[in-house]
Structure 1
């Protein structure tokens, strides 16, 4: 049994009319139904296992085509054209039949969202059912991509005067040892593939040289309940850049400044879908002896967007240094 679906677009926005054509080998058909099914799949950790594993977000069903005899269309006696359906289907049985697809994507439809390791994924499918005599004789399903109009971009306070945005954090250890980190940004709002123009200054007053300074973007994905409270959040580290190849270490007592060449990876923008999920980003600096020997690290909130937004420089720094790790380092 052959099925083929051709849509006018590779993706649709919420509120748009999905149009296309469906072709199948089945000719003796009474009814063709279409359905847009949107579902959220949750992958909670153990402490959230009592929560539902899925939720239907969109279930839009329409009648795409129904067979009608000429007498039915004209309101005449059906017996006059009793055999018309059989004659039509036998004539077309060698060629296959095509049916139009017209389904309105609901305005409230949240966007398609899929990410490895995410606690939530939102998927859409176009389903076609073929019926004869009230019985389903054929089905077809294929994925859809929906860009939702319900995405609410976060708003931030403006930075003033076009001045560089400066963040500084000091990390203290035993015996008056310390590490300082300062980062300057020309902007904290970026589009995908934008270059991050930044200057990083590391001051080393620790007992050994620092051989590892790493800059990367962290992606946060949070699931929300019906009150928009966060149920669970996961962090995903993206690839980044380190010290210049010519600089192997920052010696004790040295203050070193460099300008890494770093572009925003291909990531979707900051979004929030009420009662479902939100995504946020931060720029993370990690400092240590090696990638598995981190002495200090902190995050700076940034925004990835396709819209013009204001700065988020007033957001709070997120210190991700583990307390237990620092306590252990104090013994070094």
Structure 2
């Protein structure tokens, strides 16, 4: 006698917060898709790994952006005895595009879109090419290269600084602050980490305040001037709310753009080195570079997970 039955899969407990996961998540992703595509992790969070499920949740307005702001503010009660708070960090991150739902997200996105439209990115292509050549020339004589340190990390910091109209002598410091602030997405930060991020947010804001004040009086051909024009028009005073929008948006563009672009370059170069046939194909057919970048984004994304909270 025979019976038909579904094979029982041994359950496993997992969380993307576990140490070492980000170094090589793909075996785990494959197992999740095959064995448990709607998975509850060891902390009670639900993980979706199928395309259709993820797409459905991201398009469902009942699922809202992550509550990192509430987490930051909750830490205040642990440092009040030191006469400190994390309000600058919360004030900065609160206006990041990632943490907004419509209609607020729509308003900020419109400002950014208008700014980029006024300052056409295509017009920066020659300057970006020049920057890449300069970075390569700096290491060419040594005969070896550390791709993250020499290219992937400095390139986006320099380009974003140029787009915003910030002077080159500030690139390194602003890149450091941007990397620091991007750690706000890490779920297991200590109180000391939060205090340091708060200080980084304060320093970044103080520097940008000077630049924004100058651009209100004397607009330039840069994104900060374009953002001001898109929000209030040239020559008009800024309210505190609009000023905070501008500060947070510029910091977000710098932090998110620097970190994700650096990881894309690093992951992309590594993937091509591991697949020399694809590297050779790209060398022989440089016209496919755009589709190659899209595939590298898909193959080993610099942002492999995104969080949502059910309202």
Higher relative contact order, chain-length normalized (CA < 8 Å, sep 6+)? 2
Q: TM-score, normalised by structure 1?
A: 0.19
